[in-house]
Amino acid sequence: MYSTEMFKLYALTALVFFAVDLLWLGVVAKGFYQEHLGHLMRPDVIWGAALLFYSIFIAGVLVFSVLPGLEAQSLGYSIALGAFLGLVTYATFDLTCLAMLKDFPVVVVYVDLAWGIALTAGVSASGYGFGRWLGL
C-alpha cells in the first residue's frame, strides 16, 4: 500500500512541476530566455533529456523536502527545504554556466535562481499537500 501511495505522490508532484515549469519556460519567460540565451538555444527540445531531468528532480524534491516535511508534519519545513533545494540545484547549473560559458548573461543567473527557489518551494508545498491527502 505504501509504495502505491508513494507512486501517486510522485506522479501528482511531477504533474504540478511539469505544468508550472512548462508554463514558465513556454509562455511567461519564453521571450526573456530567447532574448538572453537565444544564441545558445536549440531549435528543438531533446525531450528524452528533459524528461530524465524532471524524473530525477522530482525524486529529489520528494526525498529532500516533501518527505521530511511530512515526517515533521510541517508545511513550512517542506517549503523551506524546497526553497533551499531549488537554490542549490539552480545555482549548480547557472553558476557553472556563468563560470564556463563565454558571455553567459548575469541577469539570467538572477532570474533563474529566483525561479528555481520559487518553483521548488511551491512544488514542495503541493507535494506536501498531496502527501497529507494520501495519508502519508
Is 90 exceeded by the pLDDT of residue 133?
yes
Average pLDDT over residues 7-35: 94
| Least confident interval from 23-32, 61-70, 82-91, 117-126 | 23-32
- pLDDT grade, residue 109 (50/70/90)? very high
What is the phi/psi pair of residue 19, to 5°? -65, -45
**pLDDT in the model for residue 1:** 45
> Which grid coordinates are listed for 2?
505504501
pLDDT band at 11 (very low <50, low <70, confident <90, very high): very high
**Residues counted in the chain:** 136
Overall pTM > 0.85: yes
pLDDT band at 38 (very low <50, low <70, confident <90, very high): confident
- The total of other beta-carbon atoms located within 10 Å of residue 4's CB is 9
What percent of the chain clears pLDDT 90, i.e. is strictly above it?
A: 87
Burial of residue 58 (number of CB atoms within 10 Å: 0-12, 13-18, 19+): buried
pLDDT for residue 96 = 97
In this prediction, residue 41 carries a pLDDT of 86
Q: Which amino acid is at 34?
A: Q
* Cell digits of residue 89: 540545484
* Separation CA 20–CA 84 (nearest Å): 19
The model's confidence at residue 131, banded by pLDDT at 50, 70 and 90, is very high
